Amino acid sequence: MGQSSRTPRTVAVLMGGPSVEREVSLSSGQACAAALREEGFEVIEVDAGRDLSTILTDIKPDAVLNCLHGRWGEDGCVQGLLEWLGIPYSHSGILASALAMDKQRSKEVFASAGLPIVKSIIVKADHVRARHVMMPPYVVKPNNEGSSVGVYLVDEENNGPPQLDSDMPDEVMVEAFAPGRELTTSVMDGRALTVTDILTTGWYDYDAKYKEGGSTHVVPADVPSEIFQLCQDYALRAHSALGCNGISRTDFRWDESKGVEGLILLETNTQPGMTPTSLTPEQAQAVGISFGHLCRWMVEDASCNR
């Protein structure tokens, strides 16, 4: 288990927090907390706020299972706090978390590792509202949010540039649209678990990800073996290139008409969701790893200096 000297018995499960993904994080945290109690751990659920360091200092957990999503929870911030406090924690460390959360910089890392990506630029949101900064179709999204928060798909049929909400950041990512099927692969303990084909009636947005019935998951994906193996290979390479630890999940688009050339890496999530509809627990189950064992492994893998 990681670098800690004994099996953790008291686990603080971090959840909630101040990000726009708070509700998903609460769902992930509550599910993991319940599973860990069934595995025999003493579990303390912590809704992370500005007093987090004080709470953790008081309860002195043996390890932290980080179920925070979005900014502050998976961008290196809370990881730095846990390093400072010397508390072993799950998932990736400071640098890998920060890199993966910054979509543009993570794509630069992927490109340097020879992984297939599509063109993207960082542009002021006002410029995006004023004119097409890239030939449609393209996607506009925050550079440092997850769960398809604030994502706009702009195609040829749009009358003009997207009218972004006022709560979008001052600068956004504009990315060439990658057509095709939505595939994803989780990496756990240096192993690519399997490949899932995500079927939706439209854009794979926040509701499709987290609302019951929002999407259908085919696992293992019914795709050619060379595509299946490439997804697993690319996910492992992305995990390694970013310096990830623990569990990660890498998302792809595959244009069937182009064969292997049509497989594009979209992004890597260093803290995949653990909700009842989440992809990573489903993939673990498909290869014989129960949800309880998955949660136990994350806790036993916890360490500092990640």
19: its two tokens = 């990000």
- In the block, which residue shows the tokens 């957990």? 61
CA atoms within 13 A of residue 141's CA, in its CB half-sphere:
23
Candidate list 75, 197, 251, 301, residue with the active-site label: 251
The whole-number pLDDT of residue 37 equals 97
CA–CA separation, 205 and 75 (whole Å): 21
Candidate list 22, 249, 253, 296, residue with the active-site label: 249
Across the beta sheet with 181-188, the strand order is: 216-218, 191-199, 181-188, 247-254, 263-269
The whole-number pLDDT of residue 201 equals 64
Candidate list 2, 21, 76, 306, residue with the active-site label: 21
267 flagged as catalytic = yes
The whole-number pLDDT of residue 1 equals 41
Candidate list 146, 267, 278, 306, residue with the active-site label: 267
237 flagged as catalytic = no
25 flagged as catalytic = no
210 flagged as catalytic = yes
249 flagged as catalytic = yes
CA–CA separation, 90 and 200 (whole Å): 31
Measured between alpha carbons, how far is residue 103 from residues 88, 99, 176, 196 in Å? 26, 8, 14, 22
Residue-level pLDDT, tens digit, the chain, 306 residues: 444 445 779 999 999 999 888 999 999 999 999 999 999 999 999 999 999 999 999 999 999 999 999 889 999 999 999 999 999 999 999 999 999 999 999 999 999 999 999 999 999 999 999 999 999 999 999 988 754 567 899 987 777 888 898 888 899 999 999 999 999 999 999 999 999 999 986 554 445 454 555 679 999 999 999 999 999 999 999 999 999 999 999 999 999 999 999 999 999 999 999 987 799 999 999 999 999 999 999 999 999 999
The whole-number pLDDT of residue 286 equals 97
147 flagged as catalytic = yes
157 flagged as catalytic = no
Nearest to 231 by CA among 203, 201, 268: 268
pTM given for the model: 0.90
Candidate list 89, 138, 206, 210, residue with the active-site label: 210
Residue type at 213 in one-letter notation: G
Which string of DSSP letters, residue by residue, matches the chain? -TT-SS---EEEEEE--SSTTHHHHHHHHHHHHHHHHHTT-EEEEEE--TTHHHHHHHH--SEEEE---STTTSSSHHHHHHHHHT--BSS--HHHHHHHHSHHHHHHHHHHTT-----EEEEEHHHHHHS-SSPSSEEEE-TT--TTTT-EEE-TT-SSS----TTS-SEEEEEE---SEEEEEEEETTEEEEEEEEE-SS---HHHHHSTTS-EEESS--S-HHHHHHHHHHHHHHHHHHT--SEEEEEEEE-GGGGGGGEEEEEEESS---STT-HHHHHHHHTT--HHHHHHHHHHT-BS--
166 flagged as catalytic = no
